[in-house]
């Protein structure tokens, strides 16, 4: 891939770093090719690995699962849907649900009639208990009666927060979440993880002033999400020194910076970008905005 193609492709990551737009380029469900890579890595891991091998194929450190629903509605039913959604979440609360649900809606993109519901944190060994509680509480029946009539389509998946490669400031007030969804190219699962680590390490070393995190999706196509938190639209203004310029200074030459970003860009086949706003009035009471 030529550097020009990388620069054109990298618009999503540019937006993630606020200035990549003009300067340089959210656990995943593996494709068969990536599964083969994972199996090969697992087989290799059975033998003692050297420090160099551990460093080269350093696995991301994941936090517990986040439960995510993406709901598409008919725009004409927005008021009715939001009213029904609030009623349903109140019902779950009265029935003793421990999960906290966050509601987000997009402010840019080609589908503004979408709502994202997410709840962190759970894990595989806790899903059965929650399912049993939901059955006893009758939440599915309540959802079907009150909310489902206003829904056009629903998708469900889990995501894992990659803490190792993220730099999320939990003390910073966040209202907007810029989300870049990157589809991992076939056979590039290991490379994608390596490049995410290298680019994230560089961002931390140059002390890039944004709050960001990586999410690996479980369900659907193999993809990873870059999420950047903003307090307001004004917070999205790019800094005077672009990330590419800062990266060049950090690595020493433009050629090194370009090579790093070219290899990063070749790890992904496509991308999409949107900005979500946290809807506090629709979310569980006392919920703190967190993607």
The Cα 32–Cα 77 span in angstroms is 40
In the chain, where are the structural domains located? 3-32+163-277, 65-158
How many angstroms separate the CA atoms of 36 and 290, rounded? 34
Cα 284 from chain centre: 21
Does residue 250 have a pLDDT over 90?
Answer: yes
**Whole-prediction pTM:** 0.76
Residue range 64-93: average pLDDT?
A: 95
**Residue range 179-192, pLDDT digits in tens:** 999 999 999 999 99
pLDDT of residue 265 exceeding 90: yes
Contact 259/199 with Cβ under 8 angstroms?
no
Higher-pLDDT residue of 30 and 46 is 46
Q: Which CATH number fits domain 65-158: 3.50.50.60, 1.25.40.10, 3.30.565.10, 3.30.70.100?
A: 3.30.70.100
Beta bridge partners of 270: 183
282: how many CB neighbours lie within 10 A of its CB? Answer: 20
Alpha carbon distance 211, 230 (integer Å) = 8
Tell me the average pLDDT of the chain: 81
CA of residue 245 relative to chain centroid, distance: 26
CA distances in angstroms from 268 to 192, 204, 243, 289, listed in the order given: 7, 22, 20, 29
Q: How far apart are CA 229 and CA 211, in angstroms?
A: 6
pLDDT confidence of residue 186: 94
Asked whether 8 and 230 are in contact (CB, 8 A), the reply is no
Q: Report the alpha-carbon distance of residue 82 to residue 87 in Å, rounded.
A: 9
pLDDT over threshold 60, residue 31: no
237: pLDDT strictly greater than 50: yes
- What digits encode the pLDDT tens for the residues 108-164? 988 999 999 999 888 888 888 999 999 999 999 999 999 999 999 999 999 998 989
> Would you state the pLDDT for residue 289?
66
Question: How are beta strands 114-122 and 102-106 bridged, if at all?
Answer: antiparallel
Task: At 241, give phi and psi (nearest 5°).
Answer: -95, 115
Burial class (CB in 10 A: 0-12, 13-18, 19+), 44: exposed
Architecture of the domain delimited by 3-32+163-277: 2-Layer Sandwich (3.30)
**Residue of higher predicted confidence among 11 and 156:** 156
- The single-letter DSSP state of residue 285 is T
Rounded Cα–Cα distance for residues 236 and 17 (Å) = 10
Length of the chain: 291
Provide the pairing of β-strand 223-230 with 176-184: antiparallel
Query: Given this model, what pLDDT does residue 287 score?
Result: 67
The domains spanning 3-32+163-277 and 65-158 adopt the same CATH topology: yes
**For position 63, what pLDDT does the model report?**
72
Q: How far apart are CA 182 and CA 226, in angstroms?
A: 8
Phi/psi for 64 (5° steps) reads: -60, 170
Please give the sequence-ordered ranges of beta strands (E in DSSP) within the chain, or none if there are none.
62-73, 102-106, 114-122, 151-162, 176-184, 211-218, 223-230, 268-278
């Amino acid at each position: 891939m030529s550097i020009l193609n990388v620069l054109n492709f990298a618009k999503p990551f540019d937006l993630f770093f606020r200035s990549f737009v003009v300067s340089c380029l959210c656990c995943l469900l593996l494709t068969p090719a990536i599964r083969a890579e994972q199996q090969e890595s697992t087989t290799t891991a059975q033998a003692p690995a050297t420090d160099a091998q551990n460093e080269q194929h350093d696995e991301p450190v994941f936090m517990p699962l986040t439960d995510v629903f993406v709901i598409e509605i008919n725009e004409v039913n927005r008021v009715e849907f939001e009213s029904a959604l609030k009623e349903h979440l109140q019902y779950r609360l009265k029935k003793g649900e421990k999960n906290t649900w966050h509601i987000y809606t997009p402010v840019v993109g080609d589908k503004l009639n979408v709502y994202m519901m997410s709840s962190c944190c759970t894990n595989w060994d806790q899903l059965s208990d929650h399912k049993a509680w939901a059955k006893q509480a009758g939440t599915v029946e309540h959802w079907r009666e009150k909310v489902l009539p206003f829904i056009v389509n629903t998708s469900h998946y889990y995501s894992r927060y990659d803490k190792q490669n993220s730099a999320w400031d939990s003390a910073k007030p966040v209202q907007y979440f810029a989300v870049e969804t990157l589809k991992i190219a076939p056979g590039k699962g290991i490379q994608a993880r390596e490049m995410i680590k290298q680019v994230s390490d560089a961002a931390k070393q140059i002390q890039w002033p944004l709050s960001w995190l990586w999410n690996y999706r479980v369900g659907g196509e193999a993809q990873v999400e870059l999420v950047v938190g903003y307090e307001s639209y004004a917070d999205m203004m790019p800094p005077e020194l672009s990330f590419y310029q800062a990266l060049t200074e950090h690595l020493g030459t433009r050629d090194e910076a370009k090579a790093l970003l070219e290899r990063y860009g070749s790890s992904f086949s496509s991308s999409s970008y949107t900005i979500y706003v946290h809807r506090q009035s629709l979310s569980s009471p006392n919920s703190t905005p967190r993607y």
